[in-house]
Amino acid sequence: MKRITIYDVAKEADVSLATVSRVINGSEVVREDTRVKVQEAIEKLGYKPNAIAQGLALQKTTTIALIVPEASFFYTGQIINGLIDVAKIYKYNIVLHTATEGIIEMNDIIETIIKSRVDGVVIFNDKLSKNELNTLTRYQVPIVVIGNKMSDDTIGSVYVDYSKLVYDFTTKYLNKGITDIALVEDRKNPAMIKQLFDGISRAFADAGKSFDNYIEIPKDYRSSYLFLQEYFKSHKHELVITYRDSQAMAVLNTAAENNIRIPEDMEVVCILDSKYNAMARPQISGFKIPDYDLGAVAMRVMTKMLHDEDEVIDKEIELSYIYSPRKSTK
């Protein structure tokens, strides 16, 4: 008999893994009807969260290293929350490592991790190179990568297909005859921007056009603000796509200073939605990325890899997103 997992409960109750985790942990933030639905699913499937957790706990202290980028985006915090909630259920300790910039530091972190004999490594880092992953795989430590799809069947990956997201969104605009589309990027997230660039380029290519509105802005907010202030004096696009909320706000503010009306004269969309997008004026449209679930599912894949729970583990898991249209788009 296949062991019932928290995953099956989430599917049965038609809620997120995060929600099941919260119900099991007795969190008060879950709505009563949702809580009932989850508990019915737990009873129906005969899921035993405590039994499994205790069973695992008997084996050994299981410690998972989590590597996250140092910059504190809201997004990273949610990933950590999801990951730790699932780690709690399975009684795993999470040792946190932060990576700033540069390969040297990353190698130091990897060395520390290997020396400290962790049982597994979860990595959320846009700048991680294939070489660095090779260092880890050589030591046969189970690895799950968050954010990037890995084409390596020894590595787990939990991700959102940003390339497809942007492809679909761009195609929708191209089909409406809107072709002056620009992508703002600050080189802070090269792997992510590559996905976005690929998605837009593919959409343009499929429409028989070529994409070339690539606005490269400085890294910090202040400099990028001054750059865009100057840029919008002589430029205007039908649609501007930004990656993060701060970039979208810089576009909004500098456009306003140059009397470009949003969304009448120019539409703006932010890929990584955040609560701040709804606080901006006009409110910024964005894509709700399941950040909490990225962390929760990554940790769940890790527990499966460590315990060979199923004969074949699905190591590559794609999560979906929801578009939230607000006032910055028509």
Antiparallel, parallel or unpaired: β 316-319 and 322-324? unpaired
Contacts of 206 (CB under 8 A, 6+ apart): 171
Antiparallel, parallel or unpaired: β 239-242 and 214-216? unpaired
Per rule CB under 8 A, is residue 32 in the interface with a second copy? Answer: no
Query: Which of the residues 119 through 148 are near a second copy (CB under 8 A)?
Result: none
- Decide whether 12 or 291 has the Cβ nearer to a second copy: 291
The CB-of-187 to a second copy minimum distance in angstroms stands at: 14
Phi then psi dihedrals of residue 98, to 5 deg:
-115, 145
- Decide whether 174 or 248 has the Cβ nearer to a second copy: 248
Question: Interacting stretch for a second copy, rule CB under 8 A, among 22-30, 153-161, 193-201, 210-218?
Answer: 22-30
Dihedral angle sign, alpha carbons of residues 138, 141, 147, 149: positive
Contacts of 271 (CB under 8 A, 6+ apart): 162, 165, 166, 196, 241, 242, 243, 244, 286, 287, 289
Per rule CB under 8 A, is residue 59 in the interface with a second copy? Answer: no
Per rule CB under 8 A, is residue 223 in the interface with a second copy? Answer: no
Question: Interacting stretch for a second copy, rule CB under 8 A, among 63-71, 147-155, 185-193, 203-211?
Answer: 63-71
* Number of residues near a second copy (by CB under 8 A): 46
- Decide whether 4 or 248 has the Cβ nearer to a second copy: 248
Of how many residues is the chain composed? 330
What is the H or E stretch that residue 265 is in? Answer: none
Dist CA 23 CA 263 (whole Å): 41
Per rule CB under 8 A, is residue 323 in the interface with a second copy? Answer: no
Per rule CB under 8 A, is residue 281 in the interface with a second copy? Answer: yes
- Decide whether 213 or 328 has the Cβ nearer to a second copy: 328
| β-pair partners for 94 | 64
Per rule CB under 8 A, is residue 61 in the interface with a second copy? Answer: yes
* Closest listed residue to residue 97, CA positions, set 49, 50, 47, 132: 132
Per rule CB under 8 A, is residue 34 in the interface with a second copy? Answer: no
Phi then psi dihedrals of residue 92, to 5 deg:
-105, 145
User: Tell me, what amino acid is at 122?
Assistant: V
Q: Which residue has the tokens 């070529």?
A: 210
DSSP alpha helices (H): ranges in 65-161?
Answer: 74-89, 103-115, 130-138
The CB-of-107 to a second copy minimum distance in angstroms stands at: 12
- Decide whether 178 or 256 has the Cβ nearer to a second copy: 256
Contacts of 139 (CB under 8 A, 6+ apart): 114
| Token output for 30 | 């879950």
Binding residue (CB under 8 A) for a second copy from 4, 18, 52, 80: 80
Binding residue (CB under 8 A) for a second copy from 45, 53, 95, 306: 95
Per rule CB under 8 A, is residue 73 in the interface with a second copy? Answer: yes
Q: Is 216 helix (H, G, I), strand (E, B) or coil?
A: strand
Per rule CB under 8 A, is residue 276 in the interface with a second copy? Answer: yes
Per rule CB under 8 A, is residue 258 in the interface with a second copy? Answer: no
Per rule CB under 8 A, is residue 221 in the interface with a second copy? Answer: yes
The CB-of-91 to a second copy minimum distance in angstroms stands at: 8
Binding residue (CB under 8 A) for a second copy from 101, 111, 180, 265: 101
**Contact residues for a second copy (CB under 8 A)?**
25-29, 61, 63, 66, 70-74, 76-78, 80-81, 84-85, 91, 93-98, 100-102, 104-105, 112, 116, 221, 246, 249-250, 253, 256, 275-276, 278-281
